[in-house]
Amino acid sequence: MEKDSTDEFYERLREQLLENTTWPSDYLYKFIVPTDEERIAQIHDIFDNTGAVIESKKSKKGTYTSLSITVNLKDPDEVILKYKEVAIVEGVISL
């Protein structure tokens, strides 16, 4: 994603979260990452000490791992911050 479209995406997400959610709230992240222990560990580290519940499931062929992460956050800015932190993990796809 280009920077402008990324910024627009996060701004829309922030507005939707403010309109549709009472904060603090549980938020569910879904990511797909190439099955690589280092990359998966990077994502685990991002959510370390947040009380997040992380479920992972490998794809049929084991090439990719999907991560479902539920975490209680205080506001939409925290949600977006975590998306930005995870975005630096090589090959990660945010759903």
Q: Which of 39, 79, 78 is nearest to 56 (CA)?
A: 39
CB atoms within 10 A of CB 28: 10
Distance CA 89, CA 57 (A): 18
Q: Which residue has the tokens 């009380």?
A: 51
pLDDT of residue 6: 87
Q: What CATH architecture is 3-94?
A: 2-Layer Sandwich (3.30)
- Give the model's pLDDT for residue 2: 62
- The 3-class secondary structure across 66-79, one letter per residue, is EEEEEEEECCHHHH
- Domain chopping of the chain, boundaries: 3-94
pLDDT digits (tens, 9 = 90+) for 59-94: 999 999 999 999 999 999 999 999 999 999 999 999
Q: Which residues 6+ apart lie within 8 Å of 94 measured at CB?
A: 29, 30, 31, 83, 86, 87
Q: How many residues does the chain have?
A: 95
The string of pLDDT tens digits covering residues 4-38 is 788 899 999 999 999 999 999 999 999 999 999 99
Q: What is the pLDDT of residues 29-60, one digit of tens each?
A: 999 999 999 999 999 999 999 999 999 999 99
